[in-house]
Amino acid sequence: MWRFLGASKALTSSDVWFLGKCYKLSSEELSNSSDCESGNAAFLEDFSSRIWITYRKGFDAISDSKYTSDVNWGCMVRSSQMLVAQALIFHHLGRSWRKPSQKPYSPEYIGILHMFGDSEACAFSIHNLLQAGKSYGLAAGSWVGPYAMCRAWQTLVCTNREHHEAVDGNGNFPMALYVVSGDEDGERGGAPVVCIDVAAQLCCDFNKNQSTWSPILLLVPLVLGLDKLNPRYIPLLKETLTFPQSLGILGGKPGTSTYIAGVQDDRALYLDPHEVQLAVDIAADNLEADTSSYHCSTVRDLALDLIDPSLAIGFYCRDKDDFDDFCSRASELVDKANGAPLFTVVQSVQPSKQMYNEESSSGDGMDSINVEGLDGSGETGEEEWQIL
């Protein structure tokens, strides 16, 4: 059974964009949901196949704390787990994958769910994310923002590689990770900069200094206003969800993180981590496991202008051609931004600093940019970016 929560505008006859895929709905289809080939039914099947990760209770205490639940404080962690889980699903099973109706399930699917279990033994558990993010302020019982959450993922993935932990069966997160930011603390504003040469170097490092390109996950933390989202950014955010590389958005109302994965008209469609469920242990080799608590049949919606201005966008690029397509789309988005882009795309890094502005931007949105102190993660140290 399907439920729709939120405003009555959810799932009207307008097109739905969901993680880079367009579902064309019509009034006839909405009134005849028995047609399994309709855009409505296809969207619902896609939505319910996404990995849904929520508050849990009854797991082992986190580190040296007494917390055995993340209720009321772990929603950003859970939202980020959903985004990364979709990246792994897309990588191993493809964008067209849907949850099978019958068991046994595939080892890849079960293996991904196992990684997000609620114990230190699971690679991407809330326990391990909090430990990895300590230096960015992550702690049991405390809410965290999207920038710190992205950096915690970067640290955790790096730690897993260094310690050869069993992730993806070969000791590695199966893709490079690029946290795109224009400054060190991520909170001073300005347009983050996707540097193509930095992405290439991260792929090279992932492939142990081989020149071949690797799959890459991009996380782009953004601050798009002060107390509320600047409305000039809403059309740009909507368009990112049309990219084939889209992994959605970590965002929601202030202090309440959700995983925004789709859009229709002026409404964001999201998976909500705020439902409390018992902790479950899905063994990596249990292909008959009950996975129902990791999928959701409730479509919720939120007005885009109510989204907290502090958010993060995710993209997954399978190979070099896919990354080039992402850069092309992102550069076109810069041209539509009227001098206030979500983020910019440049080819290379030069020795001295040059700010981005509309006049210095080339027609294709892909310039050289001058930055000092860039490290291999794409971090620009103490440099600040601003729209002039």
Q: Which residues are identified as catalytic? A: 75, 272, 274
Give the strand pairing for 276-278 and 55-57: parallel
What whole-number distance in Å separates Cα of residue 274 and Cα of residue 311?
Answer: 17
Q: Which of these, 72, 76, 70, 66, lies nearest to 57 by C-alpha position?
A: 70
List the Cα angle 369/375/381 in 5-degree steps: 75
Q: How far is CA 57 from CA 79, 188, 221, 229, 275, in A?
A: 16, 36, 29, 33, 11
What secondary structure does DSSP assign to 161-207, as a single string? HHTT--STTTTS-SSEEEE--SSSSS-S-S--EEEHHHHHHHHHHHT
Asked if residue 44 lies in contact with residue 301, where contact means CB atoms within 8 angstroms, the answer is no
Dihedral class, residue 296 (left if φ above 0, else alpha if ψ from -120 to 50, else beta): beta
What whole-number distance in Å separates Cα of residue 360 and Cα of residue 357?
Answer: 6
- Strand residues in 168-306 grouped as ranges (E): 176-179, 193-195, 216-223, 246-251, 258-264, 267-271, 276-278, 298-303
Question: How large is the C-alpha radius of gyration of the chain?
Answer: 20
Beta bridge partners of 269: 262, 301
